[in-house]
Amino acid sequence: MVDNQKSQINTLNKRIKYLESELLQKESTSLSNDNNYHDTFDTMFLNHPSIMLLICPISFKIINANPAAHKFYGYKKEFFTTLKYHDLTHQTNEEIFNQFEPNSILNTNPNVHILSNGSTVHVEEYSSILYHHTNKKLFVVIHDVSEQKASLIKLRNSEENFHTVFDGTENAIFIKDKNLKILNVNKAAEKIFGYTHEEFLMDPEQILGDQEKNDYAMADKYVSDALNGVPQIFEWWGLRKGNISFQEEIVITKTIYNGDDVLVFSIQDISIQKNALIALTESEIKFKNIVENTDEIIYMIDHNGIITLSEGAGLKQMGLMPGQLVGQSAYNLYEEYPVVIEGIRKALSGEMVHLEVNLDGIYYESSFTPHKDLHGKTIGLIGMSINISEVKLAHLESEDYIRQLDESQLIAQIGSYHLNIKTGEWFGSEILYKIFGIDSRRDKDIQIWINILFEDDRENMVTYFQDLVENN
C-alpha cells in the first residue's frame, strides 16, 4: 500500500517536472518570438518608405519618427522627439484624443499637417494602438494626399467650369454616344429646339433635322470623321418642335464623357444672320444700282482724311473712274479749295455740313455727314455731291438779264420782263411791277404772268409761249 503510494508520488513528481520543463520551454520560445517581432517591427519602421510615427497615447508626445517622416516634415530626429503631435497640426489635444479613439483597432482620418517651412499639406492618418517593448504606444502611418486633393479640386473646378460653359453658352449643346443617342443637352438646346430636357432624354433618337432639305449621306461622313478625331463644322437645316425649319451651324467634336467616347454637337441658330446677310446683299445691290445710275457722287473719308469710298456715275464728268480716288488724301486733292477743306474738318469734328463749290468751272452742291461708330465716336464722314452746273449757270444767266433789264429801264423808262424757259421763272422791271400792281417780293412764274393779262389775250399769250418753247 505504502509502496504503491510512493510510486504514485514519484510518477506525479515526474509529471510536474515534465510540465515545468514544458512551461519553461514555451516561455523561452514566446520570449524569443516576442524579441523577433520587435526586431522585425523596428526594421520595418526604419526602412519603410511610408511616413511613420510612434506617439504616447496619453501626452501625444512624439516618441519616435522614421527617416521618411524626417524627410517629409523637414525636422531632424533629435528635434522631432521634442515635439507633440499637435505641433504638426492645428488641433488641440482633446481633438486629437477624440480623433484617434484609442480603443479602436484602426482609425482613418483626413487632416492637414504643417511642415517645418510653415507650408501645409493634406494627409490621411491611419492609427492603431500597439505594444512595443512592453509599452503601449500609438502607431500612426501618414499618407501625403496633397496631389490627390489638388487633382480632386482641379476635377471639381473642371466639372464646375464644364457646367458653367455647358449651360452658359447660347449655342445648343448635345452630348451623344457613338450611335447618336442623346445623353445630355443644355438649356440653350431646350430654348432653340423647343423641347424640355426630359423630352430630349425620353426620345433620345428623335429627328432634329429637316429631312427634305439636308444631305444625310454627307451627315454620315461628318459623324464618321468626327469619331476618328477630326472636328467637323458645317451648315444644316434644323427642325424645331412643331416641324419649324431653320438654318443652323453645327460643330462636332469627339471627347470623353463619364469615361466613354462621345460626340459633342454645338449648334448655333444662324437663321437671323442668314436673313440679315440676304437683306444686306439686297441692300448692297440696290445701293450699287442707285450709285451707278445717278449723277450723284458718293464717297467716304476716314478720320485721317483718307478717301475709303468713291462711287457714282457723276465721277465720269470729272474724268474719274469709280474707286479711282480710294486711298488718296482729301486734304491733298482739295488743298486749293479752302471751303472744301474746312467742310471736311467740320464734319470730322461731328458737324453736318452743306456747301456749294466751283471745281474748275463745274458747280457742285455737297453735304458731309459725320460717320460714327457704335459708341457715338466720329470715325469719318459720308459725303454726297451733285453737279448743279446747269441750274447754277441758268441762275447766273437770269441774274445777268436782270442786271441788263435794270439798266434798260433806266434808259427807256418802260416796263420789261425776262422769261427763263428752262426754270419757268420770269423777272420784270420795277416799272413793270408798278404798271401791273405786282409785289416784287412775290414768287413769279409763267402762270402768274398769264393771269395778269387781259382775259381775251391770255389764250394768244399761252400759244405764244408754247411756240417759243417748241422753237427753242
Separation CA 13–CA 2 (nearest Å): 16
pLDDT tens, the chain, 472 aa long: 545 555 555 555 555 555 555 555 554 444 445 566 667 778 888 888 889 999 888 888 999 999 999 999 999 888 988 999 888 988 877 777 777 765 555 677 888 999 999 999 988 888 888 776 667 888 889 988 888 877 777 767 666 667 777 877 889 999 999 999 999 999 999 999 999 999 998 876 667 888 889 998 899 999 999 999 999 999 999 999 989 999 999 999 998 888 889 999 999 998 888 887 788 778 777 777 766 666 788 889 999 999 998 888 888 888 888 889 999 999 999 999 999 999 999 999 999 999 988 888 888 899 999 998 888 899 999 999 888 888 887 777 777 777 776 676 666 666 666 767 666 677 777 777 777 777 776 666 667 767 777 777 777 877 877 777 677 6
- The per-residue DSSP string of 215-245 comes to -HHHHHHHHHHHHTT--EEEEEEEEETTTEE
CB 279 within 8 A of CB 302: no
The 10s digit of each residue's pLDDT in 106-157 is 677 888 999 999 999 988 888 888 776 667 888 889 988 888 877 777 767 6
Residue 440, Cα to own-chain centre: how many angstroms? 69
Sign of CA dihedral 108, 114, 120, 121: negative
DSSP state of 445: B
The CA-based angle 78-83-87, given to 5 degrees, is: 140
How buried is 297 (Cβ within 10 angstroms: 0-12 exposed, 13-18 middle, 19+ buried)? buried
Say how far apart CA 330 and CA 304 lie, in whole Å: 9
- The three cell numbers of residue 463 are 400759244
The predicted model scores a pTM of 0.40
